[in-house]
């Protein structure tokens, strides 16, 4: 395989990396495009001096994503309503698992699930880059240090902090089997429209966050409490009786996909703990539904 083939072969891995770091497909594609622009902007002689093109591309993509995360806060202050990461189906190329170093990484079978992406949003940009590059993609700390501009020891600490926060959130999350069983029961209850059936599957302190991006109707603030969340969801169903709702596999378990006239209208993802739904993430922004049939 020549250098050009090696470079092109890295595109899929870079997209998976950038998606985990930035949370949307469009931002990931932009970051990868900029990475390749920087590669081809170099002279032939400069590229020939790079011993490991794949590592160079990963390092540059990580730096571009780090810069993008730093400016994302200002952009999201102008966003209409809550901002959520973009969900992808289970068979999306972005959901493909990378090949990390198994020695220090944590198990991340659901590495692109909505629940984890939401947790990653709570990390600092440097923590997020260090954690994802090392724990998910197996990049050595010395190389990550070049990306974030800190010492290897500092990067190790950043990754440790990110890992701890992720583990704290994931420690009490239900297994995939429990999650999917609750999702099936929830869809069955939702199809009847009976409020009590919905409430029974919701944690008393459940929180629903909806993202319409100002392009589709959505709650401008989180909805809290089992009764309020159940009524909110039932209200959506009553306003859209023409919607076809089904369960579809996503990286962290079954989600509810609502389609209208053959187009994805909303994706509802769940966090399940002890057979109850504790969080609901409803994405309606059409810009974040391009990966769904």
**73 or 13, which is more confident:** 13
Strand order in the sheet with 244-250: 223-224, 202-211, 276-283, 263-273, 253-260, 244-250
Looking at residue 187, its pLDDT comes to: 95
| pLDDT tops 90 at residue 94 | no
Looking at residue 200, its pLDDT comes to: 96
Pick from 206, 235, 207, 231: nearest CA to 221: 207
Looking at residue 91, its pLDDT comes to: 86
| pLDDT tops 50 at residue 242 | yes
Residue with tokens 């470079």: 7
Looking at residue 3, its pLDDT comes to: 62
Strand partners, 167: none
Share of the chain above pLDDT 70, in %: 93
Question: Which run of H or E residues covers position 235?
Answer: helix 226-239
Q: Are 63 and 80 in contact (CB under 8 A)?
A: no
Looking at residue 167, its pLDDT comes to: 86
Extract the tokens encoding 72.
């994302």
Residue 4: pLDDT band with limits 50, 70, 90: low
pLDDT tens sequence across 172-205: 788 899 999 999 999 999 988 889 999 999 999 9
Looking at residue 111, its pLDDT comes to: 56
CA pair distance 162, 169, nearest whole angstrom: 11
Looking at residue 76, its pLDDT comes to: 82
* pTM of the full structure: 0.91
3-state secondary structure labels for all residues of 143-170:
HHHHHHCCCHHHHHHHHHHHHHHHHHHH
Average pLDDT score, the chain: 90
By CB atoms closer than 10 A (0-12, 13-18, 19+), residue 76 is exposed
Q: Are 271 and 87 in contact (CB under 8 A)?
A: no
8-state DSSP, 51 = S
Looking at residue 293, its pLDDT comes to: 76
Looking at residue 220, its pLDDT comes to: 93
Of 15-29, 75-89, 97-111, 272-286, give the lowest mean pLDDT range.
97-111
| pLDDT tops 90 at residue 208 | yes
Pick from 279, 268, 197: nearest CA to 236: 268
For residue 258, the SS3 value is: strand
Q: Are 62 and 21 in contact (CB under 8 A)?
A: yes
Residue 141: pLDDT band with limits 50, 70, 90: very high
**Exposure on the CB side of residue 148, measured as CA atoms within 13 A:** 30
| pLDDT tops 90 at residue 7 | no
For residue 256, the SS3 value is: strand
Of 145-154, 170-179, 231-240, 245-254, give the lowest mean pLDDT range.
170-179
CA pair distance 16, 177, nearest whole angstrom: 25
**Overall average pLDDT of the 135-159 stretch:** 94
């Amino acid at each position: 395989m020549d250098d050009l083939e090696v470079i092109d072969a890295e595109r899929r891995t870079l997209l998976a990396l950038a998606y985990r770091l930035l949370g949307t497909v469009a931002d990931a594609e932009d970051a990868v495009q900029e990475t390749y622009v920087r590669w081809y902007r170099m002279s032939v002689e400069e590229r020939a001096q790079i011993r490991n093109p794949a590592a160079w591309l990963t390092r540059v993509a990580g730096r571009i994503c780090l810069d993008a995360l730093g400016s994302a806060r200002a952009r999201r202050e102008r966003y209409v309503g809550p901002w959520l990461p973009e969900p992808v189906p289970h068979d999306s190329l972005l959901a493909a698992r990378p090949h990390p170093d198994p020695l220090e990484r944590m198990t991340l079978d659901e590495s692109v699930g909505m629940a984890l992406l939401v947790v990653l949003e709570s990390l600092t940009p440097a923590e997020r880059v260090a954690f994802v590059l090392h724990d998910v993609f197996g990049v050595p700390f010395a190389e990550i240090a070049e990306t974030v501009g800190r010492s290897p020891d500092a990067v190790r600490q950043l990754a440790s902090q990110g890992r701890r926060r992720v583990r704290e959130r994931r420690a009490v999350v239900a297994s995939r089997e429990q999650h999917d069983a609750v999702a099936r029961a929830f869809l069955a209850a939702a199809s009847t429209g009976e409020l009590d059936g919905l409430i029974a599957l919701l944690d008393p302190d459940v929180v629903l966050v909806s993202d319409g991006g100002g392009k589709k109707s959505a709650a401008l603030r989180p909805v809290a409490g089992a009764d309020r969340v159940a009524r909110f969801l039932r209200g959506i169903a009553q306003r859209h009786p023409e919607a076809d709702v089904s369960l579809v596999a996503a990286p962290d378990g079954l989600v509810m996909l609502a389609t209208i006239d053959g187009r994805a209208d909303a994706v509802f993802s769940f966090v399940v703990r002890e057979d109850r739904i504790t969080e609901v993430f409803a994405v309606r922004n059409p810009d974040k539904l391009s990966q769904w049939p």
